[in-house]
Amino acid sequence: MTYRVLYTDNVRADIAAHVRYLQDQQVSSEIIENWFVGLFDLVDSLYLWPLRYPVAEPESRAMGFEVRKAIYGQHLLFYRVDQTQHLVEVLAFRHGARRR
Give the mean pLDDT of 28-49: 93
Q: How high is the pLDDT of residue 11?
A: 94
3-state SS, one letter per residue, for 6-44: EECHHHHHHHHHHHHHHHHCCCCHHHHHHHHHHHHHHHH
Our count of domains for the chain comes to 1
Q: How high is the pLDDT of residue 100?
A: 55
Which domain covers residue 71, as residue numbers?
4-95
Segment 46-79, tens digit of pLDDT: 999 999 999 999 999 999 999 999 999 999 999 9
The CA distance from 68 to 53, in Å, is 6
pLDDT score of 96 more than 90: no
Find the CATH number of the domain harbouring 65.
Answer: 3.30.2310.20
Pairing of strands 4-7, 75-82: unpaired
- Domain assignment of residue 52, yes or no: yes
- Domain assignment of residue 18, yes or no: yes
Residues in the chain: 100
> Looking at residue 87, what DSSP letter applies?
E
